[in-house]
Structure formats: structure tokens, C-alpha cells
Amino acid sequence: MKSVNVTEPFLPPIEEYIEHLKGIWERNWLTNQGPVVQELEQKLQAYHQLQMPVHCVANGSLGLLIALKALGVKGEVITTPFSYVATTACPLWEGCTVKFADIEPDTLTIDPRAVEAAITPQTEAILATHVFGNPCDVEALDAIAAKHGLAMIYDAAHAFGVRYKGKSILEYGDASMVSLHATKLMHSVEGGFVVAKDSAVSDKIEWMRRFGHKGTDDFHGVGVNAKLSELHAAMGLCCLNHVSEVFERRRLCSQYYDQRLFSEGAKTKVNTKLGPGIQLRHGAEKNYSYYPVIFDNEEAVIRCIENLQKELIFPRRYFYPVLNKVGFKILESDFGVSESIARRILCLPLSAQMCERRLEAIVDAVLQ
Ligand SMILES: Cc1ncc(COP(=O)(O)O)c(C=O)c1O
């Protein structure tokens, strides 16, 4: 029996990738902002209906580092302890001081009231994650950032294609980073992209990701190598071609989970173990990037994992552990909600190629 992991990369038909490779071979142009990267950037911009340019990078983490650098953030950054380790590691890597603000218990995104309470004269930026594609309270956060003169950066690693109140979620804040890692619903194997509202910041991001080059022999300033290669961009174009079908298949899987775990009929069976599902922010559209469930207690999570593993199904405790527990030097604050959720959350497998039989086995194991 084949094992099932929490996320399985989508692979487009190989012939489509080979077609792109032929062009790359003919041009013998492998990297350095070649035509495939340029086409991917234009298509990502059009897909999200953005006016601002899209800057592809080699991975989302480099995108976050560059966004922090381009916005001149060097001091204290307020962020969420309930995110992937990169959200905290990037500002620390940049030499910033990190302070956590707790999350909202229903949406799992950073709580604007906790953010405002954490602001000090040293604070320079807020870095907030659209958790599992669920948008943060962007109106409140953008307003707090503006009121206190802070940079507002969104870790939109999970938020490919998310729309909020009729427009792309990437329109909020000063800058956003989307990951195109292989485990994401749209990917380029490794990769990511950054957008920034202010054209001067956007221009900086554009040159910072390619050593700071201004032509061949001149430089705008210090940069780094965060270029996406033509081969990665080709995978991005192939996956983008199939993205609506990937969305639809993931929507159907999520609908199956919803019906069997959370519909009226299911409630009597599972309400002793599962809390309510995560609250989608009002005005947001789901992108089906993850299927998290929150249990009543940690023992129930561990039992469920054991049951699933017997069936060769590997869910993931995600995000776990909470980021104040990973040994980084973080300023003290209160993050009880994040700690409680991290202990009780599990992301069930979700991918475009899951068959009904496996979905059934997963739900049976959760209900055991
Ligand atoms: C919330 C979050 N932020 C940042 C990243 C880093 O993105 P990348 O893997 O593209 O560097 C990830 C990756 O999974 C993530 O989940």
C-alpha cells in the first residue's frame, strides 16, 4: 500500500515540462531573469490581478529576507509564534529582535489587539502570517502599522490565489511573500515571489534579488543571489496551467472532510474529540491549501496520528511546536492561545491526487 503524506506535490504532465525544456535548450539561457521567469512573473501578476510587479525569487524565505531588507527593517519585529519557523527565523537572520503577539483562537491569525499591546518605541515592523491561507485581520493590522509608522509585511506563503473582499490578499500591507515550494498548491519546485506596494521598495526588491546589479558593471547597492532559474520557472508555468484543476480537486477533498467530520450528522460521532473548524475570515475565499483539525486535547492528537500511521498515512502536527519553544532568543510575552492550538492541531493529508478510498481511511482513523 502506498503511503500518504500531508501534502504531495502536484506534477504536471511531463510532456508539458519537456516542451519548456526544449525552448530553454534552444536558447541556452538557464538563469538571470530569462524569458521563462519573465513570463511566469507576468502570469502571476495577471492571475492575482495586481498592478504592482511580481518579483520571483529562489524560495519564499529569501523573499522574506529581501522584503525586510528593502523596507529597511533592522530593529524590533512583532510576529506570530503560530507559523512556520521561517517567519521567525528571517527577521532573526536579518539581525532584528523578535517579539511575539498571540493569535486569535478562531482564525489562528495574529491578534491585532495583542500586536498593538506589544508595540514599543523600538518596534519597526509587523510580520503577520495568513495562516493556512486564512487572511489576517488585514484592515486592523494595516491601520495599526500606519498609526505607529511601522512596516507591514505579510507572510503569504500559504496564500496563493487568496482573495479577500473582492481583491487579492496581496494588495494589503507594504509587502507580501508567497512561497512556491513543492508542497504548496501552486509551485515551481523551490521558489516564491514578493510584491511591494511602494514602487521604490518594489524596485529595490527587483535588484536586491540579483546581486544589486544595475546593468553589467554597475550596482544599485548590496544584493544577494535569490534568482529563480529558468528550469524552476518552467515548472511554475506548467503548474499554473493546471492550477484551477488543482484547486477544484483540493476543494472536493476538503468538502469530503467537512461532510464526514463537521456536518450535522457527523457531529454526534466526533464532537467528543474535535473542536469547531477554523473560522474563515469573513469576506475571504478559501484556497484549500491545508486541512487543519483541532482536537480537544493533545492525547487525542497523538492517538489519531498512531491510528493514521497504521494505515501508512502521515499527517503533520503543523504548526508545531509553537515558535517560542524552538530555542530562539525571543522577547518575553504572552502566547497562551498559540501554545494551546499548537498542541492540539493536526493537518490532514490534502492533495490534488488523493483518491476517495484514502480519504475514507483517513476519516475512519480520525473518528476511531
Ligand atoms: C508560513 C511559511 N512561511 C515561510 C515559509 C518559507 O517558504 P519557502 O519554503 O518557500 O522558503 C513557509 C514554507 O513552508 C511557510 O509555511
What pLDDT is recorded for position 270?
53
Mean pLDDT of 157-168: 97
pLDDT in tens, 215-242: 999 999 999 999 999 999 999 999 999 9
Dist. CA 9 → ligand 1 center (Å): 15
Q: How far is the CA of 62 from the centre of ligand 1 (A)?
A: 10
7 lines ligand 1 (CB under 6 A): no
CA nearest 195: which of 75, 12, 342, 57? 57
Nearest CA to ligand 1 atom 16: 84
Count of CB atoms within 10 A of residue 27's CB? Answer: 12
Cβ atoms of 176 and 60 within 8 Å: the answer is no
At residue 138 the predicted structure's pLDDT band, cuts being 50, 70 and 90, is very high
Query: How far, in Å, CA of 353 to CA of 253, rounded?
Result: 10
Residue 213 Cβ < 6 Å to ligand 1: no
Query: What was the pLDDT predicted at 329?
Result: 82
* 166 three-state secondary structure: coil
Of the candidate ranges 78-87, 126-135, 216-225, 292-301, the one whose mean pLDDT is the lowest: 292-301
Structural contact between residues 151 and 125, judged by C-beta atoms closer than 8 angstroms:
yes
- Residue 278 reports pLDDT greater than 80: yes
> Of 117-131, 310-324, 336-350, which range is least confident?
310-324
**14-101+109-241 and 243-367 have identical folds:** no
Q: Check pocket membership of 179 for ligand 1, CB cut-off 6 A.
A: yes
pTM of the model as a whole: 0.96
Q: In this structure, what are the phi and psi dihedrals at residue 78, rounded to the nearest 5 degrees?
A: -95, 125
Q: Atom of ligand 1 at shortest distance to CA of 179?
A: 10
Measured between alpha carbons, how far is 173 from 357 in angstroms, rounded to an integer? 42
Asked: is 243-367 a CATH 1.20.1250.20 domain? The reply is no
Q: Which of 151, 97, 105 is nearest to 128 (CA)?
A: 151
Q: How far apart are CA 229 and CA 123, in angstroms?
A: 36
Please tell me the distance between residue 200's alpha carbon and the centre of ligand 1 in angstroms: 25
- Within 10 angstroms of residue 73's Cβ, the number of other Cβ atoms is 22
pLDDT at residue 2 is higher than 80: no
The DSSP bridge partners found for residue 193 are: 56, 178
Q: Using 50, 70 and 90 to split pLDDT, how confident is the model at 267?
A: low
Domain ranges of the chain: 14-101+109-241, 243-367
pLDDT single digits (tens) 37-75: 999 999 999 999 999 999 999 999 999 999 999 999 999
Q: Which of 72-81, 119-128, 130-139, 274-283 has the lowest mean pLDDT?
A: 274-283
Least-confidence region, from 35-44, 177-186, 296-305:
296-305
- Only one residue has cell 493569535, namely 103
As a whole number of angstroms, the distance between CA 267 and CA 276 comes to 10
- CATH of the domain spanning 14-101+109-241: 3.40.640.10
Terminal-residue alpha carbon distance, the chain? 21
The burial class, CB within 10 Å (0-12 / 13-18 / 19+), for 169 is buried
pLDDT of residue 48: 98
Q: What percent of the chain has pLDDT over 90?
A: 77
Q: If we measure between CA atoms, which residue out of 116, 121, 161 comes closest to residue 142?
A: 116
- 57, 61, 176, 235, best to mutate for ligand 1 pocket (most atoms within 8 Å of CB): 61
Closest atom of ligand 1 to 183 CA is 14
Q: What is the pLDDT of residue 140?
A: 98
Band the pLDDT of 269: cuts 50, 70, 90.
Answer: low
pLDDT interval class at 316 (50, 70, 90):
confident
Mean pLDDT, the chain, rounded, equals 93
Gap from CA of 180 to ligand 1 centroid (Å):
9
Q: Are 338 and 80 in contact (CB under 8 A)?
A: yes
Give the nearest ligand 1 atom to 60 CA: 10
Across 113-117, 198-202, 222-226, 292-296, least confident range: 292-296
The answer to whether residue 108 scores a pLDDT higher than 80 is: yes
153 touches 71 (CB < 8 A) = yes
| Grid coordinates of 81 | 509564534
Question: Is the CB of 86 within 6 Å of ligand 1?
Answer: yes
